[in-house]
């Protein structure tokens, strides 16, 4: 069965500004859609402090003004993904899958469930038992939210993805209504007694991607440009 699995690239971007990672995603998704990207691709990244608002987000869920954000060094970006407002910062693992969902015959609901399952398994690897919650997509520990999902799909190709709190500064979540929800608290693997470092979680990611998405992941060096590595030759 393994021989029938497709390959997929896995690239660790390290710490990258949100705007740069977003531009990279948009470019790669277009390449995948147009046939220039030979394989699906998973990007791992951490971001400097930033709030992102999905396309239908209510600005009222941001409880801070521009001066406050500037003083705190937090960027504010509106993007095309689904979902409400969330925070990204160092210590949070963000995974952006660039997947041809049509080729995989994968519907949106099943895709979201796979992203949730990925976070559930990573949490379990760290000794934290998380769960789903009907109130909101993502994963939870008790009534505290551990990981979030926000995706975008263009012509059958996905981008954006998931954010799992490993050991970030959780205070910026107090200045918003995370995911548009009121009266909830964000948590992290570290706060819940998780025994994993970021490096250990990243090391486990390929195993779970292979199992959940039925693929064979292979790594790209962080300094390699996926476009140069994965593009098919141009036709004559």
Q: Which residues carry out catalysis?
A: 179
Strands (DSSP E) contained in the chain are 6-15, 40-46, 50-53, 75-78, 85-88, 92-100, 131-133, 136-141, 144-154, 157-165, 185-186, 215-220
Q: Who has greater pLDDT, 60 or 130?
A: 130
- 68-97 mean pLDDT: 92
- 143-166 mean pLDDT: 95
- In this predicted model, what pLDDT tens digit does every residue of 131-145 receive, in sequence order? 999 888 999 999 999
Mean confidence (pLDDT) of the chain: 89
pLDDT at 183: 76
> What is the spatial distance between Cα 167 and Cα 191, in angstroms, rounded to a whole number?
8
pLDDT at 223: 55
Report the first-to-last Cα separation within the chain, whole angstroms.
36
Among 6, 36, 10, 30, smallest CA distance to 103 is for 6
Q: How confident is the model at residue 194 (pLDDT cuts 50, 70, 90)?
A: very high
Virtual CA dihedral for 79, 84, 88, 93, nearest 10 degrees? -100
- 165-184 mean pLDDT: 87
> What is the spatial distance between Cα 31 and Cα 54, in angstroms, rounded to a whole number?
23
Q: What angle do CA 193, 199, 201 make, to 5 degrees?
A: 55
Strand partners, 33: none
pLDDT at 19: 95
Percent share of the chain, pLDDT over 90: 72
Percent share of the chain, pLDDT over 70: 92
- 45-53 mean pLDDT: 95
- 110-121 mean pLDDT: 98
Report pTM: 0.90
- In this predicted model, what pLDDT tens digit does every residue of 198-224 receive, in sequence order? 999 999 999 999 999 999 999 876 555
pLDDT at 33: 92
Q: How confident is the model at residue 173 (pLDDT cuts 50, 70, 90)?
A: very high
């Amino acid at each position: 069965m393994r021989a029938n699995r497709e390959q997929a690239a896995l690239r660790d971007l390290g710490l990258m500004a949100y705007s740069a990672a977003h531009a990279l995603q948009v470019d790669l998704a277009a390449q995948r859609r147009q046939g220039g990207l030979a394989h699906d691709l998973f990007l791992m990244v951490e971001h400097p402090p930033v709030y992102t608002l999905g396309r239908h987000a209510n600005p009222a869920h941001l409880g801070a003004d521009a001066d406050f954000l500037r003083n705190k060094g937090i960027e504010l970006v509106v993007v095309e993904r689904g979902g409400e407002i969330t925070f990204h910062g160092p210590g949070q693992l963000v995974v952006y899958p660039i997947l041809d969902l049509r080729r995989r015959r994968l519907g949106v609901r099943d895709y979201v469930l796979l992203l949730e399952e990925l976070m559930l398994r990573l949490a379990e690897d760290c000794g934290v038992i998380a769960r789903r919650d009907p109130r909101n997509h993502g994963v939870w520990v008790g009534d505290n939210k551990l990981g979030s999902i926000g995706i975008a799909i263009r012509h059958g190709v996905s981008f954006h993805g998931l954010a799992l709190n490993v050991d970030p500064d959780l205070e910026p979540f107090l200045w918003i209504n995370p995911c548009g929800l009121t009266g909830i608290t964000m948590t992290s693997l570290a706060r819940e007694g998780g025994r994993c470092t970021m490096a250990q979680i990243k090391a486990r990611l390929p195993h779970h991607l292979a199992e959940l998405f039925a693929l064979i992941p292979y790594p790209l060096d962080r300094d390699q440009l996926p476009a140069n590595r994965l593009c098919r030759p141009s036709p004559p």
